[in-house]
Structure 1
Amino acid sequence: MQITPLNPEDPRSLGDFDLLGRIGQGGMGQVFLGESPGGEPAAVKVIKPSVVDSESRRRFAQEIEILKTIWGPRLAAFLGADAEAEQPWLATEYVAGPDLARHVETHGPLPSALTAALGAVLAEALSAVHTQDLLHRDLKPANVLLGPNGPKIIDFGLAAFTESSVSLTAPHQVVGTPVCMAPEQAAGEKPLTPAVDVYALGAVLLFAATGHYPHQAATPYMVFHLVTDPGTAPDLSGVPADLVPLLTDMLAHRAQDRPPLAEVVGRCRSVVEAHGLKIAQARRRLTALTARQHSPAVPPPAPAPPPAVAFADLSTATAPAAREPAPPADAVVPAPTLPAPPSPSTPPVLPVPPSVAGTPDPRVSFSAPHGGTPEGAHGHPPAPARPVKPLPHRAEPSRTPRHSAQARRTAERIRAAYAAGAPFAPSRTA
C-alpha cells in the first residue's frame, strides 16, 4: 500500500490517533495512516471539509454504528470514531498490503487454485457478515486487501442491515461500483438480499483470475445498461475451465439462481483439492505469493570478511606469505605424525630451528616446519646427542594470543610426545 507524506493542510492528529501519512482518497474523504498512543497502526478515514453537511454526517454515523456490530478474522476491525467532530473521522485496523486490484494490475491474474482459495476465504468472511444481518453492498477488488496474514475485507461504508427500511441512499439513488454490482442493485430494487454480495464476489474472483470484469464499457451508464440487461451474459473469457461453472452460477442475472455462500465455500474447496492441495495449503500459498511480490527489495548482505588467519607462534616463523593458516574449527584434520619419544636412557634431541642457532626460547615448543625435517636431514649426519638444560624463566611480553584451537591442540600433542622422557618441564604456550 502506497503511503505518501502529509500535506500542509492535513490534520496532524484526530482523537487519540497521530497521523503519519496519506494512504488514499475517495469521493467522500481522505484515508490516513494513524497510530494510537500504544503504537497500534490504524487506517483513519476523514470526511472532506467540502462535503461535511448534515446528510454526510448521518451516513457517516450509520457507517460507524454498522462497523461496531461486525467482527471476524477476515474483516478489518473497528478501532474508534467521532461523527460529531469538526472533521468526522473513523479508524479501523490497518492492513499492510496491496489491494487485489493493484496486485492483479501489477503482477497479473492469480492461478486457478489460488483464486479458488481466495474465493473460499472471502465467502466465509461475507457469510459471517450476513450472520450479523448485514450486507457489504460494495465488495470489489479495491476493498480486498492482501495483508501479510491473509486477505481482509475493508470499507463497509455502504453496508446496510438486511430486510431493513433504513438506507444510506436517497430513494431511486444507486451508489456503488457498477462493474461489480448485482443487476437488482443496479436497478435500484429494495430490499436487497445476500445474493448481491454473492454476485459481487463472483465479479471479484473473475477479476482475480482474468484481470477483467463481467461487464465493461466506456462509461458507467453503459455499464449499468449491460448489467441490468437480462439478455447480456457476463464476459467469462479467459476464465480457467475449472472455475467456469462456479463463476457462471455466481454471476447469474437472477438473485435466486445464485448459490448461497456456504455452497461457494464448498465448491472453491473442490477446485483447490482437484489441484492436489488442501485448502489450508492453498491459503498459505496465496499469502506467501502476495507477500513476496509486494515486499520491499532487500539488498544482498555484505560479503563476510575473510576469516582471520591464525599462525603457530614460532620463533622460526617466516614472513606472513609463507605461513599456512590454521584449518577452521569444524574441519576434520588428521592427527599429526609424531616422532617416537626417546627412551629413558637416552637424552632427547630436539630439532633446533636454523634461525635461533641452538638457543631455544623457553616460551615455545618447537616442531619441524611444514614439509621440513629434523636436524640431520639434507644429507648431513645428525649432531651428537646433548642434554638440554632448562634456561632461567623469562617473563613473557604482554601480547594478544593468535593460536587457533586446532593449532593449540596440535602443539600440545607434539609437546607431550617430546616431553614424555625429557629431563625438563614442558614450556608454556603463548
Structure 2
Amino acid sequence: MQTTPLSPEDPAQIGGFELLARIGQGGMGQVFLGESPGGEPAAVKVIKPSVVDSTARLRFAQEIEILKTVWGARIAQLLDADAEAEQPWLATEYVEGPDLGKHVATHGPLPALLVLSLGATLAEGLGYVHKQGLLHRDLKPANILLGPNGPKIIDFGLAVFAESSASLTAANTVVGTPSCMPPEQANGVKPLTSAVDVYALGTVLLFAATGHLPYHAKNIHVLFHMVTDPATAPDLTGTPPELVPLLTTMLSYDAQDRPALTDVVQQCRALVEAQGLKLAQARRRLTTYTAAPPLDFPTLLPTPVSESVVPPAPMVLDPSAVPSRHQTPAVPAEPDMPGADAQPTMVLVPPPPAADEPVQPEPTASEPQDAPRRAQRAGGPPARSLRQSAQARRTAQQLREVYAARAAF
C-alpha cells in the first residue's frame, strides 16, 4: 500500500496502536498504518468525528461483528476494535502491497494466465465467506490487495448475512459501487444471494485482464441505467479469448445464470492446466509478478528500442515462460524505459575472488574511482559497494523468485 505522512490533526495513537502514516480515506473515515505495542503492523480504520452518530456506530459495529465471523487465508484478519470509543476504530492485518486497481493503472493488465490464478484464488476465498452465511456486496479492484502472500479481500463494511432482508440503509437507497454492482443489487432487490459476489468477481477479473470495467459512464444515472438494462451487454473489449466464456457467464444479467463459486474455481483450474501448469504454480507466478514492480529492481536492464511507440505484447500462456512485467500495454519508449516486448537482461554482481586468486590492485588516487574512498578518509559517509546494497539483495531475491516460479513442484 502507498502511504502518506500524518497530518497535524491526526492522532498519534488510538486503541493502543501507534499511528505511523496515512493509507487512505473515504467518506466515512480514515485508514492509517499503525503498529501494535508488540510491533505488529496494522491497518487502523477510524470513523471521522463529523459522521459519528448512532447510525454510523451501528453500521461500524456490524462491520466489526462480521470481521469477527469471517476467516480464511484470503481475508485480512481483524486484530482489535472498539465501536463504542469516542472515535470508533478497528484494526486489521496490514497487507504490504498495492490494491488491484492501482497495480493495473501503473503496470497494465495482467496476463491471462495470472487472471485465471487470481480468479481461482479469490473465488475460493469468497466461498469460505459464503459458507459462513455472509455476502461481501462491495467487491471491486480497490478492495483486492496484492500482498506478498497472495491477494487478500478487504472492506466488509457493506457485508450482510445472506438470508437477511434487513438493512441499515434508508429506503429507496442503493449502497455499493455502481460499476461493479450486479443488476439486482442496483435495482434494490432483497434479499440478495451469493450470485451478487460472483458478478462482482467477474468485474474484478475483467478489470485485471483489460484495465476497464463492464460498464463505464461519466454520469451516475447513465451508469445505473446501463447496469440495470438487460439489453445493454457488458463491455468485454480486449478480453483474451480464453477468458470470454467464463466472464460472460459471471456477468450474466440474471443471477440464476451465473456459475457457483466452486464452478468458477474449476473452470479457472481447467484453463490453467490446459497450459500444462498446476494451479499452485500459477499462483506463485501471480505473487511473484505482483510483488515486484520493475522500479524495485533497477539492475534489470532491458534492451532499449528505437521505436517511439511499441505495440502491446501478446498475453503469455506458455507454461515454460515466467510472466514478465514488460508484457503490459504499450507506453512511449524513453531512453531509459524499455519497450513492452523488450527482454530483460540480468546484471549480476560478480562474486568475491577465491582465496588463491590474485586480487586486483586498488585504483590510484588519480583515478576517478578512488573518489568515494578519499571522501571516506576525509570524514565523509562510507561508500557502499553494490554487493552490500539493498539493490543487490533485491536482485538476488528476484532471481530466487524467478527460479521458484519455474520449478515443477
TM-score, scaled to structure 1: 0.70
Question: Which residue does 1:220 correspond to in 2?
Answer: 220
- How far does residue 30 in structure 1 lie from its aligned partner after superposition? 0.4
1:47–1:87 contact (8 Å) kept in structure 2: yes
Q: Which whole-Å CA distance do the structure 2 matches of 1:329 and 1:154 have between them?
A: 53
Q: Does 1:329 align with 2:329?
A: no
TM-score, scaled to structure 2: 0.73
Equivalent AA in structure 2 for residue 258 of structure 1? R
Question: Which residue does 1:135 correspond to in 2?
Answer: 135
- How far does residue 304 in structure 1 lie from its aligned partner after superposition? 8.2
Question: Which residue does 2:96 correspond to in 1?
Answer: 96
- How far does residue 163 in structure 1 lie from its aligned partner after superposition? 1.1
1:352-410 CA distances to partner (integer Å, 9 max, x unpaired)? xxxxxxxxxxxxxxxxxxxxxxxxxxxxxxxxxxxxxxxxxxxxxxxxxxxxxxxxxxx
Q: Which whole-Å CA distance do the structure 2 matches of 1:302 and 1:18 have between them?
A: 40
1:295-334 CA distances to partner (integer Å, 9 max, x unpaired)? 7456899988997xxxxxxxxxxxxxxxxxxxx53569xx
| SS of residue in 2 equivalent to 1:81 | strand
Question: Which residue does 2:401 correspond to in 1?
Answer: none
| SS of residue in 2 equivalent to 1:157 | coil
1:187–1:228 contact (8 Å) kept in structure 2: yes
Equivalent AA in structure 2 for residue 140 of structure 1? K
Q: Does 1:16 align with 2:28?
A: no
Q: Which whole-Å CA distance do the structure 2 matches of 1:302 and 1:279 have between them?
A: 31
Q: 1:168 to 1:277 in 2, by over 3 A?
A: farther
- How far does residue 173 in structure 1 lie from its aligned partner after superposition? 1.1
Q: Which whole-Å CA distance do the structure 2 matches of 1:175 and 1:12 have between them?
A: 32
| SS of residue in 2 equivalent to 1:242 | helix
Q: 1:295 to 1:192 in 2, by over 3 A?
A: farther
Q: Which whole-Å CA distance do the structure 2 matches of 1:104 and 1:302 have between them?
A: 29
Which is further off, 33-42 or 162-171?
162-171
1:136–1:197 contact (8 Å) kept in structure 2: yes
- How far does residue 270 in structure 1 lie from its aligned partner after superposition? 1.1
Question: Which residue does 1:51 correspond to in 2?
Answer: 51
Equivalent AA in structure 2 for residue 199 of structure 1? Y
1:160–1:168 contact (8 Å) kept in structure 2: no
- How far does residue 274 in structure 1 lie from its aligned partner after superposition? 1.9
Q: 1:215 to 1:70 in 2, by over 3 A?
A: same
- How far does residue 188 in structure 1 lie from its aligned partner after superposition? 0.5
Q: Which whole-Å CA distance do the structure 1 matches of 2:128 and 2:95 have between them?
A: 19
Q: 1:170 to 1:295 in 2, by over 3 A?
A: farther
1:118–1:286 contact (8 Å) kept in structure 2: yes
| SS of residue in 1 equivalent to 2:137 | coil
Question: Which residue does 1:40 correspond to in 2?
Answer: 40
1:140–1:204 contact (8 Å) kept in structure 2: yes
Q: Which whole-Å CA distance do the structure 1 matches of 2:121 and 2:356 have between them?
A: 49
Q: Which whole-Å CA distance do the structure 1 matches of 2:283 and 2:295 have between them?
A: 18
Q: Which whole-Å CA distance do the structure 1 matches of 2:349 and 2:116 have between them?
A: 43
Q: Percent identity?
A: 71
Q: Which whole-Å CA distance do the structure 2 matches of 1:252 and 1:65 have between them?
A: 32
Q: Which whole-Å CA distance do the structure 2 matches of 1:277 and 1:13 have between them?
A: 47
Question: Which residue does 2:196 correspond to in 1?
Answer: 196
Q: Which whole-Å CA distance do the structure 1 matches of 2:29 and 2:181 have between them?
A: 22
- How far does residue 165 in structure 1 lie from its aligned partner after superposition? 3.0
Equivalent AA in structure 2 for residue 57 of structure 1? R
Aligned counterparts, 1:123-202, within 5 A: 123-202=123-202
Q: Does 1:285 align with 2:285?
A: yes
1:197-242 CA distances to partner (integer Å, 9 max, x unpaired)? 0000000000000001111111222111100000001011111111
Q: Which whole-Å CA distance do the structure 2 matches of 1:297 and 1:237 have between them?
A: 32
Q: Does 1:211 align with 2:237?
A: no
Alignment length (residue pairs): 312
| SS of residue in 2 equivalent to 1:96 | coil
Q: Which whole-Å CA distance do the structure 1 matches of 2:5 and 2:297 have between them?
A: 21
Equivalent AA in structure 2 for residue 241 of structure 1? P
Structure 1: gaps spanning 5 or more residues: 308-327, 333-430
